[in-house]
Amino acid sequence: MVRPGNFALLNGETAMSSPKPFHVSIVDAIKQARDAHELSILAALINHTKIPMNHDTIVEAWNAKLAELGHAVTFSIVESVMAQKPDRSRMNPEERFMAEADDIVQEVFEMSDEDVQAYIKEHGLEDMVAPERIDQLLEEAMEKVRKDPRKAARFMVVWDRDKDKPKSED
């Protein structure tokens, strides 16, 4: 039986937050699981859901939570999730391109708040708008990325290029 309040809100999000795909929100749910009972509920859901992407991140979160809780029963999650991960070596070039593009979009979605804040600061963006507007504008930008994965690819190229630059001493 699910106890009242379980998984009601993830990461402080409200019921009005924009919905996320399962393969993204399940990682948050795994990280917030408090015990083996909650993991068993998530395991049943994971084992009966088609997961199109984010396989490695789900498995990493699952294994980290098992280690954190000292839990030995795996519920066959690793096998179930990895069995759904496509073998890119058998894909035609167009399918492989789309899979790589999906990975780029996923990487944008998985950026930590600290990485996003560092990017904003390094590019002087925090001085352009009021602090309370930054989250709203970032959400709007992510919505554009969801609609056009090419934007995500361009962003990741700039991000990778910029994060390797030496920082100037101002």
Could you read off the pLDDT tens digit of each residue along the chain, which spans 170 residues?
A: 444 444 444 555 555 456 788 888 999 999 999 999 999 999 999 999 999 888 988 999 999 999 999 988 889 999 999 999 888 888 887 777 777 766 766 666 667 677 777 777 776 767 776 777 777 777 777 676 667 766 666 666 666 665 555 544 44
pTM, two decimal places: 0.57
The pLDDT score that the predictor gives to residue 80 is: 95
Q: Is residue 53 a part of any domain in this protein?
A: yes
For residue 135, tell me if it sits in a domain.
yes
Domain boundary among 85, 103, 119: 85
Whether residues 108 and 58 share a domain: the answer is no
**Residue 76 is assigned to a structural domain of this protein:** yes
Query: Looking at the 3D structure of the chain, how many domains does it have?
Result: 2
Q: Are residues 58 and 27 in the same domain?
A: yes
In a domain, 154, yes or no: yes
Specify whether 98 is located in the same domain as 120.
yes
pLDDT of residue 122: 74
Q: Domain boundary at 38, 68, 85, which?
A: 85
Q: Report if residue 71 sits inside a domain.
A: yes
Distances (CA, A) of 133 to 67, 108, 127, 128, 138: 38, 20, 11, 10, 9
What local confidence, expressed as pLDDT, does residue 157 receive?
A: 63
Closest CA to 27 of 50, 3, 4, 59: 59
User: Are 95 and 146 within one domain?
Assistant: yes
Distance separating alpha carbons of residues 72 and 89, to the nearest angstrom:
33
Q: Are residues 73 and 130 both part of a single domain?
A: no
Query: How close are the terminal C-alpha atoms of the chain, in Å?
Result: 57
Say if 55 falls within a structural domain.
yes
* Amino acid identity, position 46: I
Please report which helix (H) or strand (E) contains residue 146, including its range.
helix 131-147
Domain stop point among 32, 58, 85: 85
Structural domain for 103, as ranges? 91-163
Residue 102 lies in a domain: yes
Residue 159 domain flag: yes
